[in-house]
Amino acid sequence: MRGPHNFWRLIRTGATFERTGAMSVVLDAFRAPASLRMAARVLGWPFAPLGLKGDMSMPPATRALTALGPAYIKFGQVLSTRPDVVGDDLARQLSVLQDKLPPFSVEEAKAEVARELEIDVDEVFSEFSAPVAAASIAQVHMARLASTGEKVAIKVLRPGIEKAFRKDIDAFYLTASLIETLSPASRRLRPNDVITHFEGVVMGELDLRLEASAAAEFAATTANDEGFVVPRVHWGLSGRRVMTMDWAEGVAASDLAAIDAAGHDKSDLAARILQGFLKQALRDGYFHADMHQGNLKISAEGEIIALDFGIMGRIDEYTRRVYAEILYGFIRKDYHRVAEVHFEAGYVPADRDIDEFARALRAVGEPIFGMDATRISMARLLNYLFEVTEKFGMETRTELILLQRTMVVVEGVARSLDPHINIWDVAHPVVEDYIKKSIGPRAAVRDLVRTGQVLARFGPRLPGLVEKILVEQMHPPQVPVPVPLRTKLNWAALGAGGMALVAVVVASLG
Of the candidate ranges 168-177, 343-352, 367-376, the one whose mean pLDDT is the lowest: 367-376
Listed residue (394, 136, 140) closest to 246, CA to CA: 140
DSSP label at residue 489:
-
**Which residues, 6+ apart, have CB-to-CB distance to 375 below 8 Å?**
none
Confidence of residue 240 (pLDDT cuts 50, 70, 90): very high
> What pLDDT shows up at residue 502?
31
Residues 324-338, mean pLDDT to the nearest whole number: 84
Radius of gyration of the CA atoms of the chain, in A: 27
User: For residues 102 and 136, is the Cβ–Cβ distance under 8 A?
Assistant: no
Report the range of poorest mean pLDDT among 53-57, 202-206, 330-334, 503-507: 503-507
pLDDT of residue 406 exceeding 50, the answer is yes
Tell me which range, 241-255, 343-357, 496-510, is most confidently predicted by mean pLDDT. Answer: 241-255
- What pLDDT, on a 0 to 100 scale, did the predictor assign at position 500? 31
Find, among 266, 268, 157, the residue nearest to 211 by Cα: 157
pLDDT over threshold 50, residue 372: yes
Chain segment 130-159, per-residue pLDDT in tens: 999 888 889 999 999 999 999 999 999 999
Classify residue 302 as left (phi > 0), alpha (psi -120 to 50) or beta. left
For range 433-456, the mean pLDDT: 69
Cβ(272)–Cβ(228) below 8 Å? yes
Instruction: Give residue limits of the domains in the chain.
Output: 4-100+162-205, 251-439, 449-509
What's the maximum distance between 2 C-alpha atoms anywhere in the chain? 86
Residue 145, SS3 per DSSP:
strand
Q: Which pLDDT score is estimated for 233?
A: 97
**Looking at the predicted structure, is the pLDDT value of residue 208 above 60?**
yes
- pLDDT, tens digit, for every residue of 410-432? 888 898 899 888 887 888 888 88
Q: Are strands 304-306 and 228-229 parallel, antiparallel or unpaired?
A: parallel
Quick one: pLDDT band at residue 124, thresholds 50, 70, 90? very high
Question: At residue 489, does pLDDT exceed 60?
Answer: no
pLDDT for the residue numbered 506: 32
pLDDT at 36 over 60: yes
Beta bridge partners of 212: none
In Å, how far are 85, 188, 390, 391, 441 from 396, measured between CA atoms?
10, 11, 8, 12, 32
Distances (CA, A) of 276 to 178, 319, 354, 431: 43, 19, 34, 12
> Looking at residues 206-217, what average pLDDT do you find?
95
Span 326-347, average pLDDT: 86
Rounded distance between C-alpha atoms, residue 92 and residue 417, angstroms: 20
Q: What is the pLDDT of residues 294-325, one digit of tens each?
A: 899 999 999 999 999 988 888 888 888 887 88
373, 412, 431, 419: which is closest to 267 by C-alpha? 419
pTM for the predicted model, two decimal places: 0.72
Closest CA to 141 of 121, 123, 163: 121
Choosing from 290, 334, 372, 418, the catalytic residue is: 290
Q: Strand order of the sheet with strand 304-306?
A: 228-229, 304-306, 296-298, 251-252
pLDDT tens per residue across span 352-368: 999 999 998 888 778 76
pLDDT at 501: 29
Instruction: Tell me what pLDDT residue 378 has.
Output: 65
pLDDT > 90? residue 48: no
Question: Are 489 and 466 spatial neighbours (Cβ–Cβ below 8 Å)?
Answer: no
Span of 42-56, 201-215, 282-296, 346-360 with lowest mean pLDDT: 42-56
Q: In the prediction, which pLDDT does 177 show?
A: 80
225 catalytic, yes or no? no
Q: What is the pLDDT of residue 129?
A: 97
The mean pLDDT value of the chain amounts to 80
Q: How confident is the model at residue 239 (pLDDT cuts 50, 70, 90)?
A: very high
Sequence-distant (≥ 6) Cβ neighbours of residue 112 within 8 angstroms? 156, 157, 159, 241, 242
